[in-house]
Amino acid sequence: MAKKVEEKEIKTNKNVHEVEIKINGDVWAKALDKAFSKRQKEVNVPGFRKGKVPRDIYEKHYGKESLFFEAAESCLGDAYDKAMSESKLIPVVQPDVSINDINDEGVSFTFKIITKPEVKVNKYKGLGVKKEEAKVTEEEVNHELEHLLEQYTELAPKKGKIKEGDLAIIDFEGFKDGVAFDGGKGENYSLEIGSHSFIPGFEEGLVGLSAGDEKDLDLEFPEDYGAKDLAGAKVVFHVKVNEVKEKIKRELDSDFFEDLGMEGVNDEKSLKAEIEKSIKAQKDMDLENKYIDALLKEISKNVEVEIPEEMIKEEVDRLLERFAEQMKMQGISLDVYYKFTKSTEEDLRKQMEPEARQNVLYRLMLEAIMSLEKVEATEEEINKEVEEMAKNYNMAKEELLKQFGGTDMVKYDLEMKKTVDLLKELNK
């Protein structure tokens, strides 16, 4: 039998490499045998039981070439491993693979491997980017206090007439040309007057009514209303008011502070101090993120790099997948999103491309600085990070590492954070 033969050829153009792997000889013969064994169990040939057709009869009916791609698929994993090990290339995106030639003598694969481009960071120290100081005004504290009191507002039955801000418990049904339309009916619906939850004129039409009153509202749907059969249509809503409730604003008394349940907060002064602290913490976080963004943007102006489009595409894929997950959590599929926004996947991908390009640039830039500054995470730091992450996510460490991609990913993320912290120090 012919010897096993595997050949390798590498063509390089900057950081785009084409690695050719040829499979023939014993390896290809065994792959064809394996392909035939699988096909033999699936085909029907007159005069032979299923799974019993001889190889020569099968090839007469279906041809040798019917086994080629099945055989090639079984060789692909080994060919990829050989391409990686012999070329010693480290891909930054999933390599593309194509079949150059395939016949009864063998198969030739070409793997297109994209490696990390050369990155030159010309300046990243003393850039003069400053972080803003978080300041909290008295007006902001008072506004948040009013918002907090609003959250704890109590509702009480009201005997008088409906006014803005009240809650009306209503039955309603809508009619178009005297016929009830889908989605236009509700019972014991709680409607806050002034919330603009319904079409213009509906809530305004209830002002002045009392519990037990009924009224017909002659209204018109907006021209841009989502349901085409109702857009711009004149309709009549028959409404019955079952109950009216009014908001009772809370006072800063002992009952309120007891309901609030904040440790150490028992009067207006201590509550305002806590509110100020909370607002400042949020502002500090926002300004920190804004400062890091400004710093990275300034450094990126001094970076020389040619980013392969394949890296941008893969980052767009990641952003699209994350967006789909976010939509799914809201009960919305991407198909529904495209229909609602009158857009396509191509539109969304184009919209995401600038963010993807920036993400890849920043990642390459930080990796280059990490290397220049010899930033490394110690084993102790990595273990501590894993423990804190496991605690935050309420997961066992083993499960967290499995979900996160292993210790190497934790190490990488930690070193990226340390690089950002170093840049902040170098630009004070």
Whether the per-residue pLDDT at 2 is higher than 70: the answer is: no
The chain-wide mean pLDDT, for the chain, equals 92
Q: Which residues contact 414 (CB under 8 A, 6 or more apart)?
A: 377, 381, 382, 385
Q: How far is CA 222 from CA 148, 235, 408, in A?
A: 34, 11, 56
Which whole number is the average pLDDT over 2-30?
76
Whether the per-residue pLDDT at 1 is higher than 60: the answer is: no
- For residue 158, count other CB atoms closer than 10 A to its CB: 19
Q: How far is CA 293 from CA 101, 244, 417, in A?
A: 49, 50, 13
Q: What is the pLDDT of residues 207-240, one digit of tens each?
A: 999 999 999 999 999 998 878 889 999 999 999 9
pLDDT band at residue 150 using 50, 70 and 90 as cut-offs: confident
pLDDT of res. 327: 93
Q: What is the pLDDT of residues 185-207, one digit of tens each?
A: 999 999 999 999 999 999 999 99
Which whole number is the average pLDDT over 236-256?
92
pLDDT of res. 224: 87
Type of residue at 355: E
With beta carbons less than 8 A apart as the criterion, state whether 219 and 201 touch. yes
Judged by DSSP in three states, 192 sits in: strand
Give the rounded distance of the alpha carbon of 45 from its chain centre: 51
Q: What is the pLDDT of residues 317-340, one digit of tens each?
A: 999 999 999 999 999 999 999 988
How many CA atoms within 13 Å lie on the side-chain side of 262? 16
pLDDT of res. 255: 87
Q: What is the pLDDT of residues 398-413, one digit of tens each?
A: 888 888 889 999 999 9
pLDDT band at residue 249 using 50, 70 and 90 as cut-offs: confident
pLDDT of res. 368: 97
pLDDT band at residue 12 using 50, 70 and 90 as cut-offs: low
- Provide the Cα torsion 375, 377, 381, 384; round to 10°: 120
Q: What is the pLDDT of residues 22-33, one digit of tens each?
A: 999 999 999 999
Q: Which residues contact 92 (CB under 8 A, 6 or more apart)?
A: 114, 115, 116, 308, 311
Q: Which of 110-119, 137-146, 150-159, 298-307 is the least confident region?
A: 150-159
How many CA atoms within 13 Å lie on the side-chain side of 317? 8
